[in-house]
Amino acid sequence: MDGWRAAAACQEVDPDLFFPVGAGAPALAQAEEAKRVCRRCPVRELCLRSALAQPHPPSGVWGGLTEAERHASRRRARRRADDRR
Residue ranges in contact with ligand SF4 by CB under 6 A: 8-10, 18, 37-38, 41, 43-44, 47, 62-64
Our CB check for ligand SF4 shows the closer of 8 and 31 to be 8
Work out the burial of residue 11: count CB atoms within 10 Å of its CB; fewer than 13 is exposed, 13-18 middle, 19 or more buried: exposed
Question: Of the two residues 62 and 66, which places its CB atom closer to ligand SF4 in the complex?
Answer: 62
Least distance CB 63 / ligand SF4 (angstroms)? 5
**Residue 42 or 79: which CB sits closer to ligand SF4?**
42
d(CA 7, CA 59): 21
Smallest gap, in angstroms, from Cβ of residue 85 to ligand SF4?
32
Max distance between CA atoms of the chain, in angstroms, equals 44
d(CA 57, CA 68): 10
